[in-house]
């Protein structure tokens, strides 16, 4: 598990870059956090770590954006999803676990999602962020003093 405090967007971006460099095909990343927590900033870093040079933006209204680098990144924002039928209608469950990396913002709206990496971001606005990254094999949580 990685447990850190982020003082600013640059710290969050750097963490994302490091994570992106370690990802492999089939990885599914669920990012939990409130509005303004820095989820999309983290995804921008992950994209950079995957060698993606294209500008990464939040897919809030399109639900999915795909980017191509060392691996294909499928970036989902499920904020506006209201029920499981919507996910099935857009073919959401066809993407995770395939020959790509899936990053999902607002994964709580996809109850059948089985992510192998969970990220929890606490804080918003001008607050410092507490970020926990847990892989399936992680069993212990740590606090960031």
Domains of the chain and any CATH numbers: 2-135 (3.40.50.300)
pLDDT at 4: 87
Strand arrangement, sheet containing 72-77: 2-6, 129-135, 117-122, 28-32, 101-105, 72-77, 64-68
Rounded to two decimals, the pTM is: 0.87
pLDDT confidence of 142, banded at 50, 70, 90?
A: very low
Please write the tens of the pLDDT for every residue from 6-31: 989 999 999 999 999 999 999 999 99
CB-based contacts of 143: which residues, under 8 Å, 6+ apart? 3
Higher-pLDDT residue of 106 and 144 is 106
């Amino acid at each position: 598990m990685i447990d850190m405090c982020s003082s600013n967007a640059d710290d969050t971006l750097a963490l994302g870059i490091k994570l992106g460099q370690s990802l492999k095909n089939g990885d599914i990343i669920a990012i939990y956090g409130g509005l303004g927590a820095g989820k999309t900033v983290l995804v921008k870093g992950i994209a950079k770590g995957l060698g993606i040079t294209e500008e990464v933006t939040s897919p809030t209204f399109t639900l999915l954006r795909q980017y191509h680098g060392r691996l294909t990144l499928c970036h989902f924002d499920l904020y506006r999803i209201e029920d499981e039928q919507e996910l099935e209608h857009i073919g959401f469950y066809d993407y995770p676990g395939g020959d790509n990396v899936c990053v999902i913002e607002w994964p709580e709206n996809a109850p059948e999602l089985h992510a192998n990496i969970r990220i929890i971001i606490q804080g918003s606005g001008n607050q410092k962020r507490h970020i926990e990254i847990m892989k399936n094999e992680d069993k212990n949580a740590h606090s960031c003093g």
